[in-house]
Structure 1
Amino acid sequence: VPAPAPAASPVPAPAPAEQLEAVVAPLPVHARDTIVPLNRIRQTTADYMVQSKQVSPHVLTAIEVDFENVERVRQANKAEFKSHEGFSLTYLPFISRALIDALVDFPHMNASMSGGNLIVHGAVNLAIAVDLNFEGLLAPVIRNADGMRMRAIARNVVDLATRARAKKLTADEITGGTFTITNPGQYGTMMQFPIINQPQVAILSTDGISRKPVVVKDEFGNETVGIHSVGVLALAWDHRAFDGAYAAAFLNRLRTIIETKDWEAELQ
């Protein structure tokens, strides 16, 4: 009778972050190096990012979107918008409004984790990640954004971003978000894998939009090649909350809204 196989050794638990940090020897500091102490916002940002990666099993799902429908309306209205509102009409308000519409159909995206429960929120409190001159970031919150038209969303984005950089936000304005958008596309990025804003379950990265050749079908199914404004939307999501099919279906719905919504009517 063969001897029984030895029992498998138990898989060791992952070491806490502080232990991992302790065993990584720092590089030596040389004469030409500069030691830059992290300021309070940079350190707080770092702590939150490490915590989020430890808590949530992050997954990235991305989708390419044809923004030509948005671009036509944006170009036709940008002069009037700038004159009336005092700031430029960017892609972000269009994406934000489409996102809110998509969350209605996929409510588990507008949610947060609480112990063993997924809390699905009735209102959309939209957090917008704002860079603080490369010294950290904040994510001020547009409360009840689901009740706003696109112009109101655009005004709130500009107001909150301006006051965030001027350090004039209240504590209430940077808490309570239910979904976050981060917008690196202003720097021409292709695709970014963002870190989830805890305890939310998803964050959307709006990346660079550029002119590209695309296949266009007419009403008869005939195909031609046209030059359209195309970009990528990347969704980082928490695998505890839902699975890949749900995330992919959500992005597909978001793309459909962006490509087909009557943006001219929405902008009025």
Structure 2
Amino acid sequence: MIDVMVPLEQEGTTAVVSGWLRQVGDRVALNDPLVELETDKVSVEVPAPAEGVVAEILLSKGDEAKPGQVLARLRPVEEMATPAPVPEASDDAAREVAQPAGKDRSGWFSPAVRKALAETGMDPRSLRGTGRDGRLTLADVERAARAPRAAEPVAMAPAVQPQPSTPDPANGRSTSVPHDSMRQAIARNMLKSVTEAPHVTAVFEADFSAIIAHRARHKAAMAQQGIALTYTAYLLAASARAMAAVPQVNARWHDDRLEMFGDINIGIGTALGDKGLVVPVIRRVQDLSLSGVAASLQDATTRARDGHLRPEDVRGGSFTISNHGVSGSLFAAPIIINQPQVAILGVGRLEKRVVVREAGGVDTIQIRPMAYVSLSIDHRALDAHQANGWLSAFVAALEDWRD
């Protein structure tokens, strides 16, 4: 038998099985997609490691999948033999073959099957399993739950006078949308972050006049190269410059040490609509030109929204940016840190505001394009001194942008 295993390397919380693309008995070729796994950061298809026939599925939809765990087993094609004919039998006899009497059926149930049995109230002894050796699968339980049931006798109870009730405004029309595995993983990761890391947020204000002028001069030329020059590209480049002033921000927290990195690998929060968000990583930002940053950013966010990210595309981030201003948010704090990183930058909506600026030794009132920028830090690793120093360097990089 050939084991199909969960990839050893993954970024994000523990993966769960979001769906099987092949079933027991299906023949597959090398690299055919077998199953889809999902974490809070990425969905990935696990391919067949060889040609064969799916002989056994060990994890059901919704089951937790740990790195190195066996998902399924394939029977090599050369070992397949024509099965002996099975004599016809009654339904009762077939059930005895599928689920031999005397075995402890409770040991055959995966966590997803046990949960489905509890939710539906189905008796597993009344169900026929279609899995290997008669094992009960999630599909068996769901199929039985959808089937019409015979009406059960209802015991007569003494008549009770109706009691007046107060209308509950919450009992009007509603729609329940089950959480998908990505949303559940995001929830677990966010809860872990806020309960384990003491969040502190510092807020500065940045003048984008220099950035807007620079972008106006270079946007058309980059567009001819197929590159979209966005404000987020400047945020990435300015973040890399600020790391030179306060390198402790480009780090990960461990219980016994702070791991600081030479490479600046910045994750960008990318919204996927109602599905949630993912954080593709732009690598070695300190070595990229502005056009290189913009091109890498465009490629990563496009593949994220098209569902084409690979596990390595969301792995290895040392810092994260949440540009929540693109959806209209003026300010958001605290932004949840993507642990084990120690900081996350939030950038609000860019808007024209009235500010006071000195001109020729005289205070003047001017209209400038401004945005609030915030840095949420893990207070175990960083203090206000580092947070304010980093933000000062970041704002200076934006306001003093040079060609």
TM-score relative to the length of structure 1: 0.83
Q: Distance in 1 between matches of 2:312 and 2:217?
A: 37
Residue aligning to 1:175: 315
Rg bigger for which structure? 2
Q: Does 1:92 align with 2:270?
A: no
Aligned ranges for residues 136-151 of structure 1 at < 5 Å?
136-151=276-291
What TM-score comes out, normalization by structure 2 length?
0.56
Q: Name the CA distance, whole Å, in 1 between partners of 2:170 and 2:191.
A: 24
Residue in 1 that maps onto 2:200: 59
Q: Which of 205, 210, 229 is the equivalent residue of 2:351?
A: 210
**What is the rounded CA distance, in whole Å, between the counterparts of 1:260 and 1:164 in structure 2?**
32
Structure 1: how far apart are the matches of 2:392 and 2:169? 49
CA distance in 2, matches of 1:57, 1:82: 43
Which residue is equivalent to 1:109? 249
The answer to whether the aligner puts 1:132 opposite 2:272 as a matched pair is: yes
Residue number among 214, 231, 248 corresponding to 2:371 in the alignment: 231
Q: Are 2:389 and 1:249 aligned?
A: yes
Q: Is 1:71 matched up with 2:212?
A: yes
Calculate percent identity across the aligned residue pairs. Answer: 33
Contact 2:356–2:366 under 8 Å retained in 1: yes
Question: What is the number of equivalent residue pairs in this alignment?
Answer: 235
Cα separation, partners in 2 of 1:109 and 1:86, compared to 1, 3 Å: closer
Q: Which amino acid aligns with 2:376?
A: A
Q: CA deviation at 1:60?
A: 1.0
Match of 2:298 among 154, 158, 161: 158
Query: Larger deviation: 127-136 or 194-203?
Result: 127-136
Asked whether the equivalents of residues 227 and 291 of structure 2 are also in contact (C-alpha less than 8 Å), the reply is no
Structure 2 distance, partners of 1:41, 1:167, is 13
Q: How does 1:181-200 map to 2 (within 5 A)?
A: 181-193=321-333, 194-200=335-341
Partner of 2:138: none
Q: Structure 1 unaligned runs (5+)?
A: 1-26
Q: How many Å apart are 1:243 and its aligned residue?
A: 0.9
Q: Which 5+ residue runs of structure 2 have no aligned equivalent? A: 1-167
Greater fraction helix: 1
What's the offset of the Cα at 1:217?
Answer: 2.5
Deviation at 1:44, TM superposition (A): 1.3
State how far apart, in whole Å, the 2-side matches of 1:28 and 1:99 are.
48
Secondary structure at the aligned position of 1:134 is classed as helix
Q: 1:37 is paired with a residue of what secondary structure?
A: coil
Which AA in structure 2 matches 1:58? H
Deviation at 1:78, TM superposition (A): 2.6
Rounded Cα–Cα distance in structure 2 between residues aligned with 1:146 and 1:79: 24
Hey, what's the Cα distance between the residues in 2 that align with 1:156 and 1:86?
9
What letter is aligned with 1:52? S
Q: Which residue of 2 aligns with 1:3?
A: none
Deviation for aligned residue 1:29 = 7.1
CA RMSD of aligned residues (A): 1.7
Counterpart residue type for residue 382 of structure 2: F
